[in-house]
């Protein structure tokens, strides 16, 4: 028996190599599961927020229709309420459009903060 094999048998180098490989594989699987869990959490939050957004849009549309009909009733007109609301929204659109760059910067900042908080 050679000295190399006796030293290898004494320190059980082959067993240590196998254990090290298993440890690395286990850590890799753990990281993979952690990333998968974070992605699942982000997707579920996104789906819930999209659903809430759809409900809010529907509520907003119905309230606007109700407001327009109310204005129509108060003005004894068929179209005045719709025209007044359209004018208000056109003014808001022009204001928003003129401030588009600032709004984009604010949105980018909020997204970056959300990503930093989630640890992605």
Query: Which pLDDT value is given to residue 16?
Result: 80
Domain ranges of the chain: 37-118
pLDDT along the chain (120 residues), means of 10: 61 79 92 91 93 97 96 95 96 94 92 78
Query: Which pLDDT value is given to residue 91?
Result: 97
Query: Which pLDDT value is given to residue 8?
Result: 60
Does the pTM exceed 0.85?
Answer: no
CA distance 92 to 98: 10
Q: What is the dihedral of CA 73, 79, 80, 84, to 10 degrees?
A: 120
If you count them, how many residues does the chain have?
A: 120
């Amino acid at each position: 028996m050679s000295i190399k094999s006796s030293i290898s048998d004494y320190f059980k180098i082959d067993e240590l190599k196998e254990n090290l490989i298993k440890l690395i594989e286990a850590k890799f699987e753990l990281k993979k599961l952690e990333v998968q869990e974070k992605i699942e959490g982000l997707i579920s939050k996104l789906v819930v927020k999209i659903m809430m957004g759809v409900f809010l849009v529907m509520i907003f549309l119905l309230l606007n229709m109700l407001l327009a009909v109310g204005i129509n009733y108060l003005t004894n007109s068929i179209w005045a309420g719709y025209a007044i609301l359209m004018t208000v929204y056109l003014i808001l659109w022009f204001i928003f459009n003129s401030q588009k760059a600032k709004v984009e910067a604010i949105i980018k900042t909020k997204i970056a903060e959300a990503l930093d908080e989630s640890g992605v």
